[in-house]
Amino acid sequence: MMQITDLQKEQKITPLLRLGFRPFFLSGAIFSVFAIALWLLMYRGVVSFSPLGGGYWWHIHEMIFAFGGAIIAGFLLTAVQNWTGMRGAQGTSLLVLFILWLAGRVVVLMPNLLGDVLTTLVDLSFLPAVAYVLAKPIIAIKQYRNLFFAPLLLLLTIANLEMHMAIYYPQTFSIVYAGYAGVMLVTFLMSVMAGRVTPMFTANGTKTQKATPAPWLDNICNGSLAIAMFYLVFQPVLGFNATFFGALLIIAGIFQTMRWLRWRPWITLTIPLLWSIHVSIKFICFGLIVLGASYLTAEIPSNHAWHLLTIGGMGGLILAMISRVSLGHTGRPLQPPKSMTLAYLLISIATLVRVFGPWGLPEKTLMFIDISGTCWIAAFAIFAIKYAPMLTAPRADGRPG
């Protein structure tokens, strides 16, 4: 039986700190708007910043480990309550985690405040802290099935550490491979979570029968991504073989597509809260295949193809899921604001423009990056504006959370 804090005690906690999704979904979305806007200005040379590692490092790092890390933390710190029946982080403990994340953003952007080494230590401390808070209740009730998310956060910390090491030891560590390792870790996590919730969401939302589970297919989908993930994490030791990596991604993409088709995405086309999830999963499927092909032929630019995963897959699935989870956990019907349909479309447009624009017309790359970034900014700004009143207010149904 869930050990819910009594309502009187709950009401003493500011609503924004009552459950992990509240501060991290809202702040993650707002930060992504700021980070992309600043990156566009830096890329064009309009503003001059000297963040840790330089502008290119900062853009990759902050979108994966800061934006992605915040959303992942919000998801897991909220989900652990459902898994264990025990309250997730709230109040002071949640505030400490949030301040730790925010401090990382400030010092990474302005490393002169603490110096490079202390800046690195502050940034690296967030994910292990979340892993500890997450693992504590899971271990307490011996629910080891969900414990693997804690080591996954530590793996993400290792990829983050490699990003930082690329600043200090560029002859050993690569910004590119460390960043890609982070992307593949997030893609693996998205694959695991999609396999758990998408069939149920689809069935419930369309009032149809849930797709029959296929554990073997889940194992191949997640296993192939896990191999790619570990291959990139251990790249400084193993080296990198483009043919092996490309073939592996194509195999992963094919099996992801098979699983996605079993979930019948076509039945969700009239329900934005569902088709947004399925479109994002399709970007993951398609992205893995195109990206894999880019490592087998020079005709496909892999630096552009990665954005199928980062914008369409990661950004799209994050936007779709946080807009759904926020409704459910604030006690509201699963009916997003109408403007969210535009936000979902904008993320898809941002993906297609960013990947295929520079690929087809490389001389117009700067224009396509501007258009793509503007679409991202608009999409997450819509979420922040529409959902801020929900995330900063008590649950609509009067329950704790």
pLDDT of residue 368: 97
Residue 306 has pLDDT above 80, yes or no: yes
- Long-range CB pairs of 102-106 (<8 Å, 24+ gap) are 102/27, 104/66, 105/31, 105/62, 105/66
Give the number of C-alpha atoms closer than 13 A to the C-alpha of residue 163, restricted to the C-beta side: 31
Distance from C-alpha of 213 to C-alpha of 259, rounded to nearest angstrom = 10
Residue 48 has pLDDT above 90, yes or no: no
Instruction: State the helix-helix crossing angle for 175-206 and 54-61, rounded to 10 degrees.
Output: 30
Identify which of 272, 358, 281 has the alpha carbon closest to the alpha carbon of residue 318: 281
Residue 84 has pLDDT above 90, yes or no: no
- Please, which residues have CB within 8 angstroms of residue 369's CB and are 6 or more apart in sequence? 40, 43, 354, 358
Summarize the confidence of residues 190-196 as an average pLDDT.
93
Return phi, psi of residue 124, to 5°.
-75, -15
pLDDT of residue 58: 97
Q: 61 to each of 48, 58, 103, 117, 251, how far by Cα in Å?
A: 18, 5, 15, 16, 27
Tokens of 106: 């400030």
pLDDT digits (tens, 9 = 90+) for 100-145: 999 999 999 999 999 999 999 999 999 999 999 999 888 888 777 7
Confidence of residue 1 (pLDDT cuts 50, 70, 90): very low
Decide if 252 contacts 262 (C-beta within 8 A): no
Summarize the confidence of residues 34-50 as an average pLDDT.
92
DSSP 245-288: HHHHHHHHHHHHHHHHHHT-GGGGTT-HHHHHHHHHHHHHHHHH
Amino acid at 100: L
**Tell me, what DSSP letter sits at residue 396?**
T
- 3-state secondary structure (DSSP) of residue 345: helix
Summarize the confidence of residues 8-23 as an average pLDDT.
86
- CA dihedral sign of residues 228, 284, 257, 216: positive
Distance from C-alpha of 393 to C-alpha of 401, rounded to nearest angstrom = 10
Tokens of 176: 């590119």
Residue tagged 């604001």 (tokens): 337
Distance from C-alpha of 27 to C-alpha of 69, rounded to nearest angstrom = 11
Q: 242 to each of 27, 302, 350, how far by Cα in Å?
A: 37, 11, 27
The pTM score is: 0.94
Identify which of 345, 218, 211 has the alpha carbon closest to the alpha carbon of residue 275: 345
